[in-house]
Amino acid sequence: MAKKKVVVKVKPTKVVSVPVKTDVASVEAETIKRVGKTISTLEGFLSRWDASKIKPDSMFPQVVKIRKFYQALNSWQKDVTDKKNVDDETRTRRLRDFVFICKSYS
C-alpha cells in the first residue's frame, strides 16, 4: 500500500493589490497608506545603516539614492496631509507627482 504524501498547507500572505477603484479620492487614500508604510520601512533601513559600523563603499550610491527618495516621499506626504480637502484636479496632480517621484528614484 502506497503512503500518502503529506501536503503542507501554506497560509496565503497578505498581498496588497493595486486599487481597482477609479475614484481619485480612494486611490489617493490608498497611496497615502502605502507611502506611510514605505517611509517607515525606509526610516528603519536608514537608521540601521547609520548605526552600522561596517558600511561597504559599493553601497554608498544606493544609500544616497534611498535617502533622497525618502526625503522626496516625506515632503510629498506632508504636502498631501496638509491639504486634505481639495478637488479632483489637485488630487490627480499630486498622484502624478507621486508617480514622477517613484520613476525618478527607481
The predicted model scores a pTM of 0.75
pLDDT tens track for 20-35: 667 888 888 889 999 9
**Mean pLDDT calculated for residue range 53-61:** 90
| Position 65 pLDDT exceeds 80 | yes
Q: How confident is the model at residue 85 (pLDDT cuts 50, 70, 90)?
A: confident
The residue ranking higher by pLDDT, 58 or 11, is: 58
Distance of CA 1 to the CA centre of its chain: 53
C-alpha distances in Å from residue 93, one per residue of 24, 48, 86, 89: 11, 34, 11, 6
Distance CA 68, CA 62 (A): 10
**Tell me, what's the pLDDT at 33?**
92
